[in-house]
Amino acid sequence: MTMPFYVSPEQVMKDKSDYARKGIARGRSVLVLQYDDGILFIGENPSKALHKVSEIYDRIAFAAVGKYNEFENLRLAGVRYADLRGYQYDRRDVTSRGLANAYAQTLGTIFTESGKPYEVELVVAEVGDSQDEDQVYRLTYDGSVADEHGFVVMGGNSEPIAAFVTARHDPTSDLATVINLAVDALSQLGPDGEPRTLVADNLEAAVLDRTRPRRAFKRLVGGPLERLLDQDRPAAPTPASDGPT
């Protein structure tokens, strides 16, 4: 009689975590940064049809890295959740905290009960009337939630990008300053480990702008994005840490 093959629960969870992290790391990085009038979302994404950043509700937006079909399912579920809650109760009852909790439950259930975890990492952000009231939540493949402040880097080779931003980011800066900092950070490392140049056509960018009435989400495309990138800024320095080869 053949004995059943046994794998400890700890090993199963470790294998799932390793699998999900590898899938997320293969994606291009997305940054979420606070600036004086709101929250910026920006990432390398040459596609004009497949978005990593999207509006969820009046003052709430969603950014993701990883497997597109999986985070797109989550985005659609978030839109349905927000619309239903706003219709049944009140628009003010739709919050990023409630949405993050719903995503956490979904991701946690998939991670523990399915054979394959979602290869995704998410940010759910809500812009407030002042910077102190902004809310940014980071969710990982296993349903873990972190309340973030200042900025978030997801996907790709995130560690050197995060180190670069940490040393230079000022959340009270204007949009032009912060968007150029983000592009400098994303430009650090190319496939050969050398700095590269990113232009507007290579980027997906959007903001939650607290000065806009009700619907705060706005995509930055074409001329507006190019004008922000054309402003004078110093060239991105080569990072001190060793990059991938």
- Domains identified in the chain and CATH numbers: 25-230 (3.60.20.10)
Question: What is the model's pLDDT at position 192?
Answer: 54
Q: Where are the beta strands (DSSP E) in the chain?
A: 30-35, 38-44, 53-57, 60-66, 120-126, 135-139, 145-148, 151-154, 203-209, 217-220
Question: What is the model's pLDDT at position 40?
Answer: 98
Are 218 and 212 in contact by the 8 Å Cβ rule? The answer is yes
The dihedral formed by the CA atoms of 86, 87, 90 and 92, expressed in degrees to the nearest 10: 20
Question: What is the model's pLDDT at position 156?
Answer: 83
Question: What is the model's pLDDT at position 6?
Answer: 74
Question: What is the model's pLDDT at position 244?
Answer: 39
Question: What is the model's pLDDT at position 10?
Answer: 87
Question: What is the model's pLDDT at position 182?
Answer: 95
d(CA 135, CA 167): 22
Q: Mean pLDDT, 10 residues at a time, over the chain (245 residues)?
A: 71 91 91 97 90 96 95 96 93 94 96 93 96 96 95 91 94 95 85 72 95 93 88 48 39
Question: What is the model's pLDDT at position 245?
Answer: 31
Question: What is the model's pLDDT at position 194?
Answer: 65
